[in-house]
Structure 1
Amino acid sequence: MIPKPDPVFALIDCNSFYASCERVFRPDLRSTPIVVLSNNDGCVIARSADAKPFVKMGEPYFQIKQKLKQHGIVAFSSNYALYGDMSERVMTVIESLVPQVEIYSIDEAFADLSGVPGDLEQLGRQIRAQVYRSTGIPVGVGIAGTKTLSKLANHAAKKWQAQSGGVVDLRDQVKRDWVLKKCPASDVWGVGRRMTAHLEGLGIKSAWELSKADPWILRKRFSVVIEKTARELAGTPCLELDEPDPPKQEICCSRMFGKRLTDVVPIKEAVATYMARATEKLRAQQSLCKKIRVSIRTGFFNPDEAKYANGVIVELPYPTDDTRLMTRLAVEAVDRIYRTGFKYSKAEVLLLSLCQKGEYTEDLFSISQPAATEKVMGLMDAINGRWGRGTMRLASVPTKPDWGMRREMMSQSFTTRLDQLWTVSSR
């Protein structure tokens, strides 16, 4: 019998991902600090490494405008279409270079390198070089015998970038202990601020001290999660690559309006817009929907504004993924919950009672989704997938609504819209 190879994991993580996406198509900003803002340009949600000494995560934009100008920091509105497409490109490159991948978040993925022959540190450098060459996104690679250690190795690769070249392999015991002693326990994956305080109460301050702690005491005092963390730091694998996520049981699409709305017409436009996006997600996971919840609300933080919130459940005539039918019923539902005299700040569409095609039993005498609907929806998705989201849409969905999110500093959708492709001047 062939012995099973020792487990080896790699964590590939994009460096300052949102900021890096902005720099790909703006080489003039390669040495300029960048921050990316949340919806409606509210607060800082991402920073390039050179912006971190001057700006904290979560700082409100309106409070730090002068500070950004003072330090030459450029702010961008969040461009999720660009970030999502760049993420897909990065993950595609990684999947072409390793046997098995678990996409952990928009900017990081675990790879199973167990049994892969050759110099794995060199493979990490190959992954790093290929991702950068194909996408322009810099990544760090951490390699170790457990997922938790690979995460810490990735952290070390970025922390000591000059020495590591962006790749750290912690399978060597001496190197592993050195990194564990240099990193505080708060740097360990899954150890939050509250757990850090609890561990310090036990005299555990470094990752190395956590790896040497009695896992059974940690389990008894805290949880099985922190027990597994300690075991993984000590080199005992407790976590495997996760299977792909099952289809979602609910799909939500909501946004804050760029300004307060008092009229029902733009609110209906917003609901139609959110429904278009929600049904795209529904079809992407090949599900059908049986009911919808539509809700609207005012802001709750201005003491001078009247407060109101309401929602309604809409039963669909049959399980469907038809944007046209679901939008019509959702927009009609707005009339049942809208009240005059209020300043509305948000609308939400929630798809409920989802099922996969073929998972439900049809009644012999009940109506079902027409066969032609699947063809129409498939054609619409194909056109939008090729030519950009919103190329084919319902007439009730505006292209540039005045109620849309404030994104005054948003970059172009360089990779997802033909009319915003990157152009190169000969001058």
Structure 2
Amino acid sequence: MCSKDPRPIFGLVDVNSFYCSCERIFRPELRHRPVVVLSNSDGCIVARTNEAKALGLKMGDPYFKVRNFLEQNGVAVFSSNYTLYGELSHRVGVAIASLVPEWERYSIDELFVKLDGLPEPIIDVGRAIQARVLQWTALPVGVGIGHTKTLAKAAQHASKVWREKTGGVVDLRKPDAVEWLLRRMPVDEVWGIGSRMRDNLARDGITTAWELSQADARAMGRKYSVVLERTIRELQGESCMDLEQTVAPKQTICSSKMFGQRVHTLQGLQEALATYIHRAAEKLRLQRSLCGAMRIGIQTSFHGDGPKYANAATCIPAYPTDDVRQLTKYALQAAEQIYRPGFAYSKAEVLLLDLRKRGEYTQDLFSPSQPERSDALMATMDKINRRWGHDCLRTAAVPLTPDWGMRRALLSPSYMTSWDQLWKVQCR
């Protein structure tokens, strides 16, 4: 490969079967057994190992429907352990950052990296990343390399499909390699092409990534969207997306989950709302925003024969705030207004609205603003929770062990973040 090519070099690092691989680290006897991980409240399958895929298990299969099949075929089943996955995701990032000049987290199990200026052959850098992540975290990763983010994503796809031949690292910078792969790649495997766009492109006679790359980018952009135009240009080797060094602040923050058990009382709903506000307020303070409005909602399940009910209320704090005490107070008052007895509630939701970045909005001269003592208290609470766990300090309305908590009957221990659940090794 010519080292004088002025185009940037991107890599995409992806952990193979991330959730399942995290579970296997501390259960080595599962290395060659099929493993699946379930969604919130053990609802459906959201992650599978290759062995589980070979059994015909699909993403989204409801657990209650395939439970007997899983038991009959010796499939190891886990509830989602987001504490464990988050900690290992962080460690993967640390390992990768030790080898590359720039990187961007794309998702919990994927990171884009910039490889410009590193010595050739760049594929050796990919293998070094692979080896270091394995050494530091025991997680297997694939690495795709290309002149654009979209081609790096395609290369990473190839590293999974042809893992034995490639060793999990694919360099997709040579034109003949790009053509070879894109001709064999269905168009809906291209990053950003969903099922609806796939069907639209099929009507235009485009079914492969190669055919899409040969389309007129400007004309397709006018016909469909600027996003598709950008995708085509990236497939053609023109970089249209750089690494995002900072994450844009969210315009809304939502915290919502289905209950593990139906809730019948106002107190139970208020406990759930207080818990969700605790999480949402942490995110709010993390991006240094204040909340100017909040919407809370409750609902029953709309399946089955029981009575149905859903309602919501919007709260306007006296001043924009990130103080969890104030937000909780307004939410509990609103819950009293919309609660109706006699229903089996299945879900509650908190939505923080009208988010304002600190220092970037004009305060009303005649309206109160959040007092400095609230800022100091929230900063202290966040510092303690970062050190000892995000539930160490919380409002009194948040229960320690709620009856309505998310159902996670198959949850693995928090091996890396809880003293009483550390991995134990017995010596004989």
Cα pair distance change 1:121/1:58, threshold 3 Å: same
Name the aligned partner's letter for residue 193 of structure 1: S
1:149·1:233 contact (CA, 8 Å) conserved in 2? yes
Partner of 2:108 in structure 1? 106
Name the aligned partner's letter for residue 217 of structure 2: P
1:99-147 Cα shifts (integer Å, max 9, x gaps): 2222111111111222333321000011111111112221110001111
Cα pair distance change 1:78/1:265, threshold 3 Å: same
Separation in structure 2 between the aligned mates of residue 280 and residue 42 of structure 1, nearest angstrom: 27
Separation in structure 2 between the aligned mates of residue 418 and residue 277 of structure 1, nearest angstrom: 22
1:181-203 Cα shifts (integer Å, max 9, x gaps): 22222322122223333333333
Structure 1 unaligned blocks of 5 or more: none
1:5·1:115 contact (CA, 8 Å) conserved in 2? no
Structure 1 residues 19-418: aligned runs within 5 Å: 19-54=20-55, 55-302=57-304, 304-418=305-419
Aligned residues: 424
Cα pair distance change 1:191/1:366, threshold 3 Å: closer
Structure 2 unaligned blocks of 5 or more: none
1:370-399 Cα shifts (integer Å, max 9, x gaps): 222222222222222122221222222112
Name the aligned partner's letter for residue 380 of structure 1: M
Separation in structure 1 between the aligned mates of residue 107 and residue 210 of structure 2, nearest angstrom: 27
Separation in structure 2 between the aligned mates of residue 255 and residue 297 of structure 1, nearest angstrom: 11
Name the aligned partner's letter for residue 141 of structure 1: V
Name the aligned partner's letter for residue 426 of structure 1: C
Cα pair distance change 1:35/1:105, threshold 3 Å: same
Cα pair distance change 1:264/1:29, threshold 3 Å: same
- Calculate the TM-score normalised by the size of structure 2: 0.94
Partner of 2:18 in structure 1? 17
Once the two structures are overlaid, the 10-residue window that deviates more, 185-194 or 280-289, is 185-194
1:59-103 Cα shifts (integer Å, max 9, x gaps): 100010111122211111111222222222212222232122221
SS in structure 1 opposite 2:11? strand
Identity of aligned residues (%): 52
1:387·1:416 contact (CA, 8 Å) conserved in 2? no
SS in structure 2 opposite 1:52? helix
Separation in structure 2 between the aligned mates of residue 339 and residue 166 of structure 1, nearest angstrom: 56
1:388·1:418 contact (CA, 8 Å) conserved in 2? no
Separation in structure 2 between the aligned mates of residue 4 and residue 122 of structure 1, nearest angstrom: 18
Name the aligned partner's letter for residue 43 of structure 1: C
Once the two structures are overlaid, the 10-residue window that deviates more, 170-179 or 270-279, is 170-179
Separation in structure 2 between the aligned mates of residue 320 and residue 223 of structure 1, nearest angstrom: 38
Cα pair distance change 1:233/1:368, threshold 3 Å: closer
Separation in structure 2 between the aligned mates of residue 236 and residue 133 of structure 1, nearest angstrom: 35
Cα pair distance change 1:206/1:367, threshold 3 Å: closer
Separation in structure 2 between the aligned mates of residue 364 and residue 212 of structure 1, nearest angstrom: 59
SS in structure 1 opposite 2:400? coil
SS in structure 2 opposite 1:51? helix
Name the aligned partner's letter for residue 350 of structure 2: V
- Calculate the TM-score normalised by the size of structure 1: 0.94
Cα RMSD (Å) = 1.9
